[in-house]
A and B are shown apart, each in its own frame.
Chain A
Amino acid sequence: RKEVEQDPGPFNVPEGATVAFNCTYSNSASQSFFWYRQDCRKEPKLLMSVYSSGNEDGRFTAQLNRASQYISLLIRDSKLSDSATYLCVVNAPDSNYQLIWGAGTKLIIKP
């Protein structure tokens, strides 16, 4: 079983729609969770951290379910510019700085 699992997609979604995707992680000791965005042939960029209580940043909402060990990302009113690969990332519990990366979910927003 992979440490961080994501549906690779692609998710083809019309502009303006709401889309959500999940990620599951295997190590219950992980404490820090993130969503990164990666555009084709570019480096990953931090989209948002995921807090236990859930958090929202504009059109993006992240939620954490510790009991089921999954993290979700919801994008409302999707824009063409949201097309990217979204990477779910969790910390490695036995390290102060190492991260464990999911393979990413590809999102394509269509006009």
Chain B
Amino acid sequence: GAVVSQHPSWVICKSGTSVKIECRSLDFQATTMFWYRQFPKQSLMLMATSNEGSKATYEQGVEKDKFLINHASLTLSTLTVTSAHPEDSSFYICSATGLGPYEQYFGPGTRLTVT
């Protein structure tokens, strides 16, 4: 149980384009989903927290107009990186919670490369 999927696994896009990443909880309803970013040799950095049906809460320094988050249902959240630039290249990971406090289940991550 507690499986989270994430698509795509990796994506290469040109600078200026937008990329959408999906995060799904497959066998449970996720009350809250998190989006993280991880640069090489660095820790996971929380970008935003989203609850189904409400606006995401962004961490300080994360541009909400650049990283659009939609949490349309209890099993799906999407992150859209708009007008991507090479500095947005990173490993984006989602997690979902709903089975208990602090229990987060991670998707396999999406490796984004912007050329």
Q: Do A and B come from one complex?
A: yes
Question: Closest A-chain residue to B100, C-beta based?
Answer: A97
- For chain B, the count of residues having a C-beta within 8 Å of the partner chain is 21
* A45 interface contact, C-beta 8 A: yes
Q: Mark A74-99, 1 if CB is under 8 A from B, else 0.
A: 00000000000001000100001111
Stretch at the interface among B61-69, B71-79, B104-112: B104-112
**Which residue of chain B is the closest to A43 with respect to CB atoms?**
B106
Q: Are A103 and B43 neighbours in the complex by a CB distance under 8 Å? A: yes
Given A41-B91, A41-B111, A101–B43 Cβ distance below 8 Å?
Answer: yes
Residues facing B in A50-95 (CB within 8 A) are 87, 91
Whether B41 contacts A8 by the Cβ 8 Å rule is yes
A1 adjacent to chain B (CB < 8 Å): no
A32 to B91, CA, bound (A): 26
Interface of A is mostly: loop
Which residues from chain A contact B32 at a C-beta distance below 8 Å? Answer: 97
B42 touches A103 (CB 8 A): yes
Q: Are A91 and B91 in contact (CB under 8 A)?
A: no
User: If A8-B41, A103-B42 touch, does A97 touch B111 (CB 8 Å cutoff)?
Assistant: no
**Alpha-carbon gap, A101 to B93, bound state (A):** 13
Residues in B whose Cβ lies below 8 Å from that of A32: 101-102
Q: Mark B84-111, 1 if CB is under 8 A from A, else 0.
A: 0000000101000100011110111101
Residues of A near B11 (CB, < 8 A) are: none
Across the interface, B49 reaches (CB within 8 A) one of A41, A45, A98, A103, namely: A98
With known contacts A102-B43, A103-B42, A91–B106 Cβ distance under 8 A? no
A25 within 8 A of B: no
Q: Is the CB of A43 within 8 A of B102?
A: no
Taking a contact as CB atoms under 8 Å apart, the answer to whether B43 and A43 are in contact is: no
Name the CB-closest residue of B to A85. Answer: B41
Using a CB–CB cutoff of 8 Å, the interface residues on chain B facing chain A are 32, 34, 41-46, 49, 91, 93, 97, 101-104, 106-109, 111
Using a CB–CB cutoff of 8 Å, the interface residues on chain A facing chain B are: 4, 8, 32, 34, 41-46, 87, 91, 96-99, 101-104
